[in-house]
Amino acid sequence: MAKRASGDVSEVRILSNGLKNTGMNRKLDVLGRIVIPAEIRKSLDLKEGGVLDISLEEDRIILTPRQDSCVFCGSRSELKEYSGRMICSSCIVGLDSLTA
């Protein structure tokens, strides 16, 4: 177990429920915010301004990096944004055919 200057522990343990426990912890600030440790941000390629989806699973808060996909078919290629939603080029062609 390696200690760093900030006092964090860089060991990862797999718990009996399959979850990974990094041994790191953070306090909430007055507004309920936390800082995600740099190691986790780097391993998930999280950049400033990136979007995380937040969900609840029983008594757990789940943070998942947003992966844009088409709202109609789920494709992740050739996406364009329309009214805050992502639509792939194939579905755009399909929508165009509805108005013809």
The CATH number of whichever domain residue 37 belongs to comes to 2.10.260.10
* SS3 label, residue 18: coil
Tokens standing for residue 39: 């190691």
Contact 50, 66 (CB under 8 A): yes
Q: What percent of the chain has pLDDT over 70?
A: 80
Number of domains in the chain: 1
Confidence of residue 29 (pLDDT cuts 50, 70, 90): very high
Residue 38 domain-assigned? yes
Q: What is the predicted pLDDT for the residue at 12?
A: 63
Whether 34 is in a domain gets the answer yes
Report d(CA 73, CA 66) in Å as an integer: 17
pLDDT for res 11: 61
Where in the sequence is the domain holding 55, given as residue range(s)? 13-65
Residues 6+ apart with CB under 8 A from 11: 1, 2, 22, 23
